[in-house]
Amino acid sequence: MKITILYFARIKEVVNYSSEDVVLPDGVETIVALKSWLSGRGETWRKLFHGSGVVRAAINHELVDDMATVEEGDEVAFFPPVTGG
């Protein structure tokens, strides 16, 4: 299935993208599975998702946890803990 992924703040700087459209292989249907799949891209990605820093996720503009389900056409976002206010 095809989704859009957005990256913000420190994470955008680390991966060097602000957004991308990706086609997920079968079986990648949750945030945690998506993180694992992206980690397969190499060291930068593996450290990002499996290092010490917390990576938060949103699906279609709602904060979600790792077990949330990703569906066709979703806008998924990855970002660090928020620091506004």
Partner 1 sequence: MDTPSYPSPGYLNISVQSEDFDIGLELQQLKAATPQAGALVNFVGLVRDMSVDGKLNRMFIEHYPAMTEKALHHIAGQAFQRWPLLGVRIIHRVGTLAAQAQIVLVAAASLHRQAAFEACAFMMDYLKAEAPLWKKEIGDFGEHWVEARTSDEQAKQQWKLPG
Task: Using CB under 8 A, list all residues that contact partner 1.
Answer: 6, 8-10, 54, 58, 61, 63, 75, 77, 79-85
Neighbour-count burial of 52, counting CB atoms closer than 10 A to its CB (0-12 exposed, 13-18 middle, 19+ buried): exposed
Smallest gap from Cβ 13 to partner 1, in A, equals 8
Residue 53 or 66 with smaller CB distance to partner 1:
53
The C-alpha atoms of residue 4 and residue 77 are separated, in whole angstroms, by 8
Residue 25 or 85 with smaller CB distance to partner 1:
85
For residue 41, the one-letter residue type is: R
